Amino acid sequence: MRLRNVKNKEEILNNCDCLIKNSEDYKGKWSSLFNNDNPIYIEIGMGKGKFIIENAKKYPNINYIGIEKFDSVMAKAIKKIPSNIENLKLIRMNALDIDKVFSKEIDLIYLNFSDPWPKTRWHDRRLTSKIFLDKYDSLFKDIKRIEMKTDNEDLFIYSLETLSSKGYALSDISFDYHKTDTDIIMSEYEMRFKAEGKNVYHLFAQKK
């Protein structure tokens, strides 16, 4: 998918107090940046930000960190952030570097509508590949928890298999999430898929 450039994106990124430029400096001490010991939830691939921003507004006693690779997409998300939000930080980085930024401090990872990387030779790039699941192991504070939503059935089945192989117990598995759960905060992609009548797949994975 071709990304549309955002005018003045560099200015938007540079002037955002929520965007953490030196993220590796906070490895193991993100609580000090938030100035509290509240749980930390991260969304890898936050897109235009609706999901994580709405969660941060609804749950002020949880700290949220949104991660996005693309400048233009991050700039679009930044423009939606309220000025008075205290429990939201953003990081612009490639997910492959996730273990350089966090260590034993994350309570939950959200994976919402990640790139399905459909060709077999690309499967290691999937955010639920064994390569990424091994990286995530070092991020969690205690219990490892991952919540995933996707519109791609192949990615969903693949993720059920890889998560199970890494010792995760799976629950809240749904092949039509909007039919089984209607009280949810949706991302931009999810709103579009729901309007088009497409199935959304959901799972919750946990291991000690």
Q: Say whether pTM exceeds 0.95.
A: no
Residue 9 belongs to some domain of the structure? no
Of residues 25, 99, 115, 154, which has the active-site annotation?
A: 115
CA pseudo-torsion sign 127, 133, 135, 139:
positive
- The secondary structure of 75-130 as a DSSP string is HHHHTTS-TT--SEEEEE--GGGGGGT-SS-BSEEEEES-----SGGGGGGSTTSH
What Å distances lie between residue 42 and 91, 112, 169, CA to CA? 10, 11, 20
How many domains does one find in the chain?
1
* 11, part of any domain: no
Write the pLDDT tens digit of every residue in 134-184: 999 999 999 999 999 999 999 999 999 999 999 999 999 999 898 877 678
Answer yes or no: 37 catalytic.
Answer: no
32 versus 2: the higher-pLDDT residue is 32
Residue 130 lies in a domain: yes
205: pLDDT strictly greater than 90:
yes
2, part of any domain: no
Give the domain range for residue 168. Answer: 31-207
Amino acid occupying residue 89: K
Model pLDDT for residues 56-104, shown as the tens digit of each residue: 999 999 999 999 999 999 999 999 999 889 999 999 999 999 999 999 9
CATH number at residue 36: 3.40.50.150
Structural domain contains residue 5: no
54, part of any domain: yes
Identify whether the C-beta of residue 184 lies closer than 8 Å to the C-beta of residue 51: no
Residue 75 falls inside a structural domain: yes
Domain annotation covers residue 20: no
3 pLDDT tier (thresholds 50, 70, 90): low
Quote the tokens at residue 34.
């938030």
For residue 2, pLDDT over 80 is answered with no
Phi and psi of 16, rounded to 5°?
-95, 115
